[in-house]
Structure 1
Amino acid sequence: MSGLWYDQFSVGQVITHAIRRTVTEADNITFTTATMNPAALHLDYAAAAETEFGQPLVNSLFTLGLVVGISVHETTLGTTVGNLGFERTTFPSPVFYGDTIRVETEVLAMRESQSRPTQGIVTFVHRGLNQRDQLVCEATRNALMRKAPA
């Protein structure tokens, strides 16, 4: 377990995650087809070439999953009860094949659970940036976290 207990977080805390990941064509095609998304923008080189981007875009839901996934080892691995949901997610810049994504997580808010005395809710803001330091994903997420064992 490398995640943090509820008690180890503090509002305003920023975690710069050690793991980075370069996105590949195989990542995008596998994710996009597995999730039944037929959008030409992700799968059709000829159609994508005619867009303003001139190339296929990486599926934004893959980007979201990658950004949250990179954060897990240093935030919630082994210490979360569950993901409660996302309040807001934006994709300010596109992700392309070959982009390397790094992630920073900020603790936005915390509150103890009223119904579960051994748990609390942490609101995280996960920010994914590419190798040019462009923000490619920002997601505000609520997680139900365990408190440290007594």
Structure 2
Amino acid sequence: MTGKTYDALLEGETITHALRRTVTETDNLTFCVFTHNPQPLHLDAEYAVGTEFGRIVVNGLYTFSLMVGASVGDTTLGTLVANLGYDAVAMPAPVFLGDTLRFETQVIERRESRSRPDAGIVVFEHRAFNQGDQLVCRCRRTALMRREAA
């Protein structure tokens, strides 16, 4: 178990995740196929060249999923009871094939669970940045986290 318990997460702390990922065409294509998303902006280079972006834009849900997934090892691996929700998802800049993404998580809020004495509620803000340090995705995730054994 490498995740942190409720008790080990400090409000205001920022965790920089070591995992980085260069997004490939295969990543984007596979994600679109698995999720049945035929959006030509994500799949058709000829179509995409005629858009304001001038090239394929990586599926935003892939970026979102990668961002949350990259955080798991340092935050919730083996300590999560349940994800309670995702809020305030924003994608302020596009991700393109070949971009290398890095990730960080800030503990925004934490509070004891009223119904579960063995758990607490943590609100994380996950952020993804491209190789130019431009914010490309962020969200808030509310998680029910195990507490340390008494």
For 1:115 and 1:149, the matched residues in 2 are separated by 17
For 2:121 and 2:87, the matched residues in 1 are separated by 13
Query: Is 1:134 aligned to residue 120 of structure 2?
Result: no
Consecutive unaligned residues of structure 2, counting only runs of 5 or more, are: none
C-alpha deviation, 1:42, in angstroms: 0.4
For 2:55 and 2:149, the matched residues in 1 are separated by 50
C-alpha deviation, 1:87, in angstroms: 1.5
C-alpha deviation, 1:92, in angstroms: 0.5
Q: Deviations over 1:91-142 (max 9, x none)?
A: 0010011111111100000111111000011000001001100000011110
Where do 1:53-72 residues align within 5 Å?
53-72=53-72
Consecutive unaligned residues of structure 1, counting only runs of 5 or more, are: none
Query: Is 1:149 aligned to residue 149 of structure 2?
Result: yes
One-letter code aligned to 1:135: L
Where do 1:37-52 residues align within 5 Å?
37-52=37-52
C-alpha deviation, 1:149, in angstroms: 1.6
Per the alignment, residue 16 of structure 1 pairs with 16
C-alpha deviation, 1:33, in angstroms: 1.3
Per the alignment, residue 116 of structure 1 pairs with 116
C-alpha deviation, 1:10, in angstroms: 1.2
For 1:23 and 1:149, the matched residues in 2 are separated by 40
Give RMSD over aligned pairs: 0.6
Misfit runs of 4+, over 4 Å: none
C-alpha deviation, 1:38, in angstroms: 0.9
| Other structure's SS at 1:20 match | strand
One-letter code aligned to 1:41: L
The alignment-based identity, stated in percent, is: 57
TM, length-normalised to structure 1: 0.98
Q: How many residues align?
A: 150
Per the alignment, residue 29 of structure 1 pairs with 29
Per the alignment, residue 102 of structure 1 pairs with 102
For 1:98 and 1:83, the matched residues in 2 are separated by 30
One-letter code aligned to 1:120: G
One-letter code aligned to 2:110: M
One-letter code aligned to 1:50: G
One-letter code aligned to 1:85: G
